[in-house]
Structure 1
């Protein structure tokens, strides 16, 4: 009995099983840890401020407008926290959903281009990729923006390779617009337009009409305008200079200036090729000696199913390499393109004995490193002992187990199944990372216990200042907390903090790292309380009365109050109203 024609477009049961398995695999450990620095506490704090203050249109961080990123990821995090009723569950949900959405789009497109069996292999290849597994378990923006970039790629390739499909082209353009509102780089699929045009000219792809190109760009800009236009109007006609500064920062500094003249994460041009791809694309990167000749062969045949994603892959790497500011996570959108470009060759790669030997060699290296580090650490090797003390984590048993698992898989699979053994070890690594690893690392990376100790010492109504603050401390605060402008020069922050502490020295305290004692040489440090080590730093809790000899300046910096002080606290609200009208540095 034949299936009706419309059912041929539905995913097979194997497809759904793989997505269900991926959801289970990627969600293991959710709820077991707090947000970890550097980025996770910031976005969780943005989301909580939205929920506490009702200010959704312009994200804030500890009371101060946050101009570094558009708001979609913060909206998604706020919605996830609200729906789940838990920060620990909600802050990771957007990345999980972004990963599953990306996986579904890659498998569906591969199925339509190459068949169900290849689609399953493509899904497994993406799911086993190291950077994909890492970012699916990390509450950074990049997994969600990768989903929107993949949605744009999906719509473009549906029209170019399986079209005409104008509806999917426009859906893809809407996805690109949402990607721009997530991190600014949602337009990456448009880098394939020149190659698409060339292939269409050679009759290897469906051409894109000029009218559809113009309408698609209008869709992208229209989606972006849904947030940008009201934001620009609100900030322009506001009498708050901080909001005008927010508008200029996010529209200009965080876009063109950040790309062309980056001020941090400056790396050489070869950074991605030599320092990111070797680990981020693992294990598929091991197949490049076989993939490159296969790609060349298909390029000579003008196989658009391979050339378009491969060209997009190369152009994304080139695009990010031209910017002086580089981070490994920027290459995450290349992984779906890599899998799409490799999909027709995946079955053949599994029959390559030398590739399996290469996989076995890499697994043996991992086994040696982890087992040696675990055993030597347990025996008290001084460099490893110092490392454990500095970070507050003792992982020797965990690392030893990972090493033993690696050798066990090698013994089971032998070198002739080395690639499969490596993929199995990566699965064990992520499962142990999301359980045992979370349990070990969370006390060291989350200051939850430290902030509870502070409120036990000061009382819940005492106010706490943190110059040059870190978001994870504000996120975990159990009492009223103030900061003095994230980008304010440190000297100005401390002078403003001194003035604030001297206004009510019996009720106010300062939290600061001990290595910055030079900033408070004027204070009576005999009254400082040693809080021990947290997040690889030793901390002091100092009462306001210790700063009587310090020269404060109320005009040196703004004063921002963290959102935990905004609900039901008339004094805090009045002080916040006054300080928001001060001049900004």
Structure 2
């Protein structure tokens, strides 16, 4: 399908693009701790796997963690086994997944459109804000995107180019493995819907696909799903352990079908993703007024490449829009497919005056926004800075430090903008890539490391360790994952999702068993009358909550927490 006469892109240009992308995505790895949301939870579960050897059933403290399958945590734990540094290991899977996704997009664009499309697919995906934002987070979603893109890469090659059974098996295996990474990993299989529609229209020549290949697809999907599902179910059923059986039910029923059809959080209107894509897919979303008509013209000609890429993306958008629960990251798997579909159109679009004006304006806003925010943070009154940092556990000096980084970013992007505008050919595309690389380099090497001690609760838990001394025992109540992760010693917890009243009963017994050596770390909002408030120690704030330390002597003898002393978590 691609034009073999397409001129070859100089290798040095592609190599420079790859180095720029890789260095900016890797900037700051190993320089910060896991920070909410989600990062401490996954890192804690991965660390527990390494410490206990139980890789099949992830734990959050003393409880089973039954909200996500363990595949992503396996990757983090395996990364730690290789590098022996959790500050690198918790981010390494996302970084490698992002680089793999970029390569898959470039390779698929080459196969569909020719060599010239490679840099446009890769660069177009990189400059969209949400892609790099997720690539630099220790969350599941970037790994899910890599699996989704791998599945599409194999399935589109099978359906459009080379009908070989191994490609179908690989595509379905990646979809199955994605399903046990995060429940929606099966979505690449929806590509068979627009393919079936094209076959029914009968106006487009497509390769012949032997029916027997379906067995390879089914086998591949079952093998992918079975990577975790088979041993988990086998172990849970064989053990007869009520906790493991409850874990299996939670994972297979509540966290899949019920979470989609009857979401209990992140409820948003049906049009929510349109606004999310308009903002998070900048600057790519600025091209929508020109891309959409061009795509429509190609789709009307029944170009199978466009029909499958865009048809699949629309099905994914419809799937997520139908659920009441919505998060902006859910639609991220669409972005690589759309960038591949846009790749052959971008060279022509970037010659249009309206497109160039919109993208130059984006760069100008990026530069001015960084300069303005940096100047404000660097020069704001101390009282104002304290008001912003007090409840977050941040040192007041953090914000001026971040302001200096933002000022530097604004100056550098301004320089890139000025140089590009004054160059003879006004090279807009390289300016976008360089400015984006500068943005994520500053983000990773400067902004997040500055936030890390406070946002990760590292500074808070260091204060706790100093206050109670090295020989004391520590327990947590009303805690979050970052507190257990950052504790400087083995700690006791009384559950995470158990009713707090029940946790208080257990905590009281624990404190009274050795009141001279035992301390309880707790959320100030979870206090019960059984503690003598005069003996409590305010240890600081973090993540917009106040935290206390209660020595064993603070427990009032004979006091029993009532069942309604604290709400269920």
TM > 0.5 fold call? yes
Deviations 1:312-337 (A, max 9, x none): 11111111111111111112211111
Deviations 1:138-188 (A, max 9, x none): 110111111111111011100111122322111111111111121122211
Partner of 2:467: 457
Partner of 1:532: 540
Aligned-residue Cα RMSD (Å) equals 2.8
Q: Distance in 2 between matches of 1:432 and 1:148?
A: 28
Q: Distance in 2 between matches of 1:554 and 1:231?
A: 38
Partner of 2:515: 505
Partner of 1:284: 284
C-alpha contact 2:126 2:433 (8 A) present in aligned 1: no
Partner of 2:404: 397
Partner of 1:43: 42
Q: In the TM superposition, what are the counterparts of 1:59-208 in structure 2 within 5 Å?
A: 59-201=58-200, 202=202, 203-208=204-209
Residue of 478, 489, 493 corresponding to 1:483: 493
Q: Distance in 2 between matches of 1:339 and 1:54?
A: 41
C-alpha contact 2:390 2:541 (8 A) present in aligned 1: no
Q: Distance in 2 between matches of 1:389 and 1:351?
A: 49
Q: Distance in 2 between matches of 1:420 and 1:18?
A: 9
Partner of 2:551: 543
Q: Secondary structure at the match of 2:344?
A: helix
Q: Distance in 2 between matches of 1:241 and 1:321?
A: 36
Indicate the larger mover: 446-455 or 164-173.
446-455
Say whether 1:293 aligns with 2:312: no
Q: Secondary structure at the match of 2:116?
A: helix
- 5+ long unaligned stretches in structure 2: none
Indicate the larger mover: 134-143 or 196-205.
196-205
Q: Distance in 1 between matches of 2:101 and 2:365?
A: 31
Q: Secondary structure at the match of 1:258?
A: helix
Q: Distance in 2 between matches of 1:323 and 1:343?
A: 31
Partner of 1:31: 30
Indicate the larger mover: 366-375 or 13-22.
13-22
Deviations 1:537-575 (A, max 9, x none): 332111121022574479999xxxxxxxxxxxxxxxxxx
C-alpha contact 1:43 1:74 (8 A) present in aligned 2: yes
Q: Distance in 1 between matches of 2:386 and 2:352?
A: 42
Indicate how the Cα distance of structure 1 residues 220 and 15 shifts in structure 2: closer, same or farther if over 3 A, else same: farther
Q: Distance in 2 between matches of 1:126 and 1:69?
A: 27
Displacement of 1:308 in angstroms is 0.8
Partner of 2:529: 521
Q: Secondary structure at the match of 1:253?
A: helix
Taking structure 2 as the reference length, the TM-score comes to 0.90
Say whether 1:414 aligns with 2:428: no
C-alpha contact 1:492 1:556 (8 A) present in aligned 2: no
Displacement of 1:527 in angstroms is 1.5
Partner of 2:231: 230
Q: Distance in 1 between matches of 2:13 and 2:187?
A: 31
C-alpha contact 2:128 2:283 (8 A) present in aligned 1: yes
Displacement of 1:77 in angstroms is 0.6
Q: Distance in 2 between matches of 1:437 and 1:513?
A: 28
C-alpha contact 1:499 1:551 (8 A) present in aligned 2: no
Q: Distance in 1 between matches of 2:505 and 2:458?
A: 28
Partner of 1:246: 247
Indicate how the Cα distance of structure 1 residues 554 and 220 shifts in structure 2: closer, same or farther if over 3 A, else same: farther
Q: Distance in 2 between matches of 1:532 and 1:127?
A: 39
Deviations 1:404-460 (A, max 9, x none): 344433333339656654443222111111111133111121222332332232233
Q: Distance in 1 between matches of 2:561 and 2:364?
A: 60
Q: Distance in 2 between matches of 1:507 and 1:207?
A: 74
Q: Secondary structure at the match of 2:538?
A: strand
Partner of 1:435: 445
Moved over 6 A (4+): 553-557
Q: Distance in 2 between matches of 1:451 and 1:305?
A: 54
Indicate how the Cα distance of structure 1 residues 366 and 304 shifts in structure 2: closer, same or farther if over 3 A, else same: same
- 5+ long unaligned stretches in structure 1: 558-583
Partner of 1:309: 309
C-alpha contact 1:145 1:186 (8 A) present in aligned 2: yes
C-alpha contact 1:307 1:341 (8 A) present in aligned 2: no
C-alpha contact 1:107 1:120 (8 A) present in aligned 2: yes
Q: Distance in 1 between matches of 2:90 and 2:221?
A: 27
C-alpha contact 1:102 1:150 (8 A) present in aligned 2: yes
Q: Secondary structure at the match of 1:533?
A: strand
Q: Secondary structure at the match of 2:470?
A: coil
Q: Distance in 2 between matches of 1:122 and 1:371?
A: 30
Partner of 1:359: 359
Indicate how the Cα distance of structure 1 residues 328 and 83 shifts in structure 2: closer, same or farther if over 3 A, else same: same
Displacement of 1:338 in angstroms is 1.0
Taking structure 1 as the reference length, the TM-score comes to 0.87
C-alpha contact 2:198 2:304 (8 A) present in aligned 1: yes
Say whether 1:496 aligns with 2:488: no
Partner of 1:560: none
Q: Distance in 2 between matches of 1:311 and 1:209?
A: 23
Displacement of 1:466 in angstroms is 1.7
Partner of 2:257: 256
C-alpha contact 1:204 1:303 (8 A) present in aligned 2: no
Deviations 1:467-520 (A, max 9, x none): 222111111111231222222223332333223222322222111233x16x32
Q: Secondary structure at the match of 1:466?
A: strand
Indicate how the Cα distance of structure 1 residues 522 and 107 shifts in structure 2: closer, same or farther if over 3 A, else same: same
Q: Secondary structure at the match of 1:373?
A: helix
Q: Distance in 2 between matches of 1:396 and 1:355?
A: 31
